Amino acid sequence: MKSGHWRDWIDEQSGRLFIAPAVAVVLAFSIFPLGVSALLSVSRFSLQAGGVDLAFIGALNYRRLLLGSQQYHFLGTQGELPVWGGPVLALVVALFGAGFVRSMRGLPDARRWTAGSAGALGCLLAATLLAPLGPFQARAAALIEAADVPWFAWLGGVALSLVALALLLQRLAPGRIGIAGWCGRLLAATFTMVLAMLVIATGGRGGQPGSMLTTLFYVVGGTALQFALGLGLAMLCAQNIRGRDFFRLSFFLPLMVTPVGVAYTFRMLADMSVGPLAPLARWFGMGALTWAQDAWSARWVVLLSDAWQWTPFMFIVLLAAVEGQSREQVEAAQLDGASSWRVFRDITWPGIAPTAAALVLIRLIEGFKIVDLPNVLTNGGPGIATESMTLHAFIDWRTLNLGGSAAVAYMLLFVATVSTVSFFQFVVRPARGPR
Amino acid sequence: MTLLQASRPGELSTAGKLAVYGALLLWSLVVFFPLYWVAITSFKQPVQVFGGPLYLPFVDFAPSLDAWRYVLVTTGADTLRPYVNSLIVATASTVLCSLVGSMAAYGLSRIAYRPTVASVLLLLASLALTVTLVLGAGLSLWWSLAAALVVFLVALRPLQRRFRSHLGNDDILFWIVSQRILPPVVSAIPIYLMFQRIGLLDTHLALIVAYMTVNLPIVIWLMVDFFDGIPRELEESAALDGASRFRIFFDLMLPLARPGLVATTLLVLILAWNEYLLALFLSTAHAQTMPLLVAAQNATRGPQWWTMSVLILLMIVPVMLVTLFLQRFIARGLLVGAVKG
């Protein structure tokens, strides 16, 4: 029967047919634009009579961001070296050393410590070479100058030495982690180290963080705050109390407001002359306070408005996770006289850790895209203090600097990918346990 | 924490209860106060907004319906259009996204895919070729796609014969999820140029497709877990009875995964309904959506707080109705499987 054949064919192909639409859509509208964006980021875009003109200019757009005229905008302005700079850097290096040592459990002690210090020193070295700012900038610039190599060749050299270091580490700890794994670890370590250096260099007096550190402040600070609040509320709502459904539903409300609406709402609320908090501010003698004029208070307003919108998301999912656990274990522990804190630490937390880790990952990913809030609340100001990377790219786009915009977008992609993949590998995977 | 110490298992002491209620009420205040402020602002007149803070309608100030009248009657047509646009775009993209996404999720959960590395690389290479032809050589999109397709088909067999390493389902899943890491601003410009070339700028279709693309990873990511949680035996017995894969998917698996599907759909609907950046890039007048209209109230004379508040409230209504309708699924804690990863 003919139709039978036709059906058989469909059934045979069903595997492909199931994912074909999704893959086609993602290819067409994600990968394809990604390619175009990559092309844009290495070109200069200009409007011509009757069309557009793309001129290939190599890595100039990136160079501008990392070492050139846009460096202050993207990476920030270097200030005086703060007192806490040295200890902080030492702490980060020590943490990475400890991390490397830990990941080589099962080896003889001496070799563990050798490998650990090699790893830590390696990423410090790599970070020093890579750090475009700070006390290291002069040295890095001098090195590049003296070697007289183009900066991309130099970057390639750093990448090669990372791979070499990975090979060395793999020899020191054979069989546990592959070379790709070591490369990933070293990349994550280098990235963190560069970040630490940037924070130190731009955190001193006269320094000013660029849009990258501002974005990370929103992402890391915001996610931490939302998680803490969401977890606290979920624990409260999981208690045996009346009116839980009411709280559950009403706490969901902020999610329904469009982010632009949230931004404008908070602009109304944060108005210190005619906003609802004005009398309070006057009473505390802060009537003249203009939060929008101060870099850090402006950043905090952005972060808090974001937290208002997204804490409910954390809350809903964490509550579901807490309630999804079996009650018997908790009740047995309570009968044995365990304190609430012990119950939480030993029973509840391990139970919800995988959900929590995946949830934080989702918020990390979404957090990198923040744009409405800083745009509406402060327009990125004062100066560039509250500009997120998406807003940075958007402003470039608005001024028709499409190449520069694409370069910022690509840097955002790099930062977001390294951060989220590292978080996935080092936190989510272990929390989930063996599958 | 001793305050929260249970006197009997599962029961709180009176002091504990008071503390819990206190904290919850405090947070309710945090949640409701901004919304309350938006609500009363929508009943204020300009002079009442700019004269200083006024808190209680009828007590502090005489509420007026001017802003509501302005938005719903005077400029009613200008409001209705974005509203309908938003409804069309959000609904259509959510439905398509849930359908396509759960199909892919089902495939990734149940069928072993083994694409060769060679074919994937070749596919990417042909896409790069298309881009280069369009932007570099100025060829039309369709010719470039055809050329890339020919290259792909010709080179596929020999390459596959030579390089035989495979990828697995996890790789495909990770690749799709990684698309969500992609900030929209990276793809917005190319998507803009692309739709410009096809002539779809400022149409519903453009927005529907764009929202579908950005939300697809979420649906797939969440739905794979829900499908993983359904026992395989059910399908096997259905397959023994002669049901085709599509039959199994639509008549058996989708109903079984309904709780997860509902939660995922709600999340995606909210995201699509509230999306701003892509709408800003892809629509101007005809397909303008509500978030753009809200932002447009920031006129040259400064933000028109009262009309903006009306629009914000109007925007909450549909989402609230849908959420209320679906709340029994959410309240039962069914989002939990959603992020087990």
The residues in A 188-247 lying below 8 A from B, measured between CB atoms, are: 229, 232-233, 236-237, 239-241, 245, 247
Contact B318/A at CB under 8 A: no
Are B244 and A11 an interchain contact pair (Cβ–Cβ within 8 Å)? yes
A334 in reach of chain B (CB within 8 A): yes
pLDDT digits (tens, 9 = 90+) for A211-264: 999 999 999 999 999 999 999 998 888 877 777 778 878 888 898 899 999 999
Q: Which of B49, B209, B331 sits opposite A29 (nearest CB)?
A: B209
pLDDT greater at residue A175 or residue B117: B117
Size of interface A-B (CB pairs under 8 A): 317
* Interface predicted TM-score (ipTM): 0.84
User: CB under 8 Å to B197, separation ≥6 — which residues?
Assistant: B134, B141
pLDDT computed for residue A156 by the predictor: 81
Say whether A250 and B323 touch across the interface (CB within 8 A): no
Tokens read off for A99: 């991390």
| Termini Cα distance of chain B | 31
Average pLDDT of span A39-64: 80
Q: Do A316 and B41 touch (CB under 8 A)?
A: no
Burial of A161 (0-12, 13-18, 19+ CB in 10 A): middle
The amino acid occupying position A151 is W
**B55/A276 Cβ within 8 A:** yes
Give the dihedral of Cα atoms A272, A273, A275, A279; nearest 10 deg. 80
B142 — contact with chain A (CB < 8 Å)?
Answer: no
Can you read off the two tokens belonging to residue B98? 């849930």
3-class secondary structure, A197: helix
Q: Which residue of B lies nearest to A235 if distances are taken between CA atoms?
A: B20
Contact: B185, A319; criterion CB under 8 Å: no
Q: How much is the pLDDT for B338? A: 45
Best CA proximity match to A191, nearest among A284, A96, A258, A116: A96
Contact A140, A131 (CB under 8 A): yes
Inter-chain contact B104–A254, Cβ cutoff 8 Å? no
Q: The tokens of B50 are what?
A: 């700019």
**B167 CB near a chain A CB, below 8 Å?**
no
Min Cα separation A19/chain B (Å): 4
A27 CB within 8 Å of a chain B CB? yes
CB B42 within 8 A of CB B306: yes
| Amino acid making up residue A131 | A
- Please identify among residues 19-38 of chain B the ones whose CB lies closer than 8 Å to any CB of chain A: 20-21, 23-24, 27-28, 30-35, 37-38
Query: Is A155 a residue whose pLDDT tops 90?
Result: no
User: Is residue A301 within 8 Å of residue A270, measured between CB atoms?
Assistant: yes
Determine the average pLDDT of the residues in A21-45: 85
Inter-chain CB proximity A394 and B185 less than 8 Å = yes
Do B323 and A245 meet the contact criterion of CB atoms below 8 Å apart? no
Is a pLDDT exceeding 50 seen at residue B334? no
Sequence-distant (≥ 6) Cβ neighbours of residue A325 within 8 angstroms: A347, A348, A351, A352
Mean pLDDT over B160-175 rounds to 83
Give residue-wise pLDDT tens across range A348-388: 888 888 888 888 988 999 999 998 889 888 888 788 889 99
Exposed / middle / buried, residue A398 (Cβ in 10 Å: 0-12, 13-18, 19+): exposed
From the list B208, B285, B80, B298, the residue with the least C-alpha distance to A261 is: B298
Q: Which of B9, B23, B340 sits opposite A358 (nearest CB)?
A: B340
Confidence of residue A418 (pLDDT cuts 50, 70, 90): very high
CA distance A101 to A111: 9
Mean pLDDT of A292-303: 88
Question: Residue A48: which H helix or E strand, with range?
Answer: strand A43-48
| Confidence grade of residue A1 (pLDDT, cut at 50, 70, 90) | very low
pLDDT of res. B205? 93
Is B341 touching A (CB cutoff 8 A)? yes
Q: How far apart are CA B277 and CA B279, in angstroms?
A: 5
Question: According to the 3-state scheme, what is the secondary structure of B75-127?
Answer: CHHHHHHHHHHHHHHHHHHHHHHHHHHHHHHHHHHHCCCCCEHHHHHHHHHHH
Task: List CB contacts of A182: < 8 A, sequence separation 6 or more.
Answer: A165, A166, A167, A169, A170
Residue A91: pLDDT above 80? Answer: yes
Q: Which residues, numbered 78 to 107 in chain A, qualify as contacts with chain B under a Cβ-Cβ cut-off of 8 Å? A: none
Yes or no, beta carbons of B186 and A279 under 8 Å apart? no
Res. B106: pLDDT tops 80: yes
Q: Residue B215: what are its φ and ψ, rounded to 5°?
A: -95, -15
Tokens of B227: 């499908």
Q: For A47-84, where are the alpha helices, taking DSSP H only?
A: 60-66, 71-74
CB of B231 less than 8 A from some CB of A: no
CB atoms within 10 A of CB A202: 23
Nearest-CA distance from B195 to chain A in Å?
Answer: 10
CA dihedral sign, ordered A240, A242, A246, A251: negative
Q: How many CB atoms lie within 10 A of CB A49?
A: 5
Nearest alpha-carbon partner for A315 in B23, B275, B222, B273: B23
Whether residue B287 contacts residue B203, with contact meaning beta carbons closer than 8 Å, is answered with: yes
Give Cα A189 distance to the centre of its chain: 15
Q: Which of A14, A29, A246, A318 to mutate to test the interface with B (most CBs of B within 10 A)?
A: A29
pLDDT at A4: 63
Chain B CB contacts of A276 under 8 Å are 33, 37, 53, 55
Model's pTM, two decimal places? Answer: 0.87
Give me the pLDDT at residue A138, please: 60
Residues 249-268 of A with CB under 8 A from B: 249-261, 264-268
Residue B310's pLDDT band, with cuts at 50, 70 and 90, is very high
Cβ neighbour number for residue A240 with a 10 Å cutoff: 12
Cα–Cα distance measured from residue A121 to residue A369, given in angstroms and rounded to the nearest whole number? 33
Q: Give the sign of the dihedral formed by CA B217, CA B222, CA B225, CA B231.
A: negative
Q: Does B340 touch chain A (CB under 8 A)?
A: yes
Q: What is the model's pLDDT at position B2? A: 37
Contact call for B185 and A339, based on CB within 8 A? no
For residue A229 the two structure tokens come to 């609040």
Our CA-based measurement puts residue B283 at a distance from the nearest CA of chain A, in whole angstroms, of 15
Chain A contact for B101 (CB, 8 A cutoff) = yes
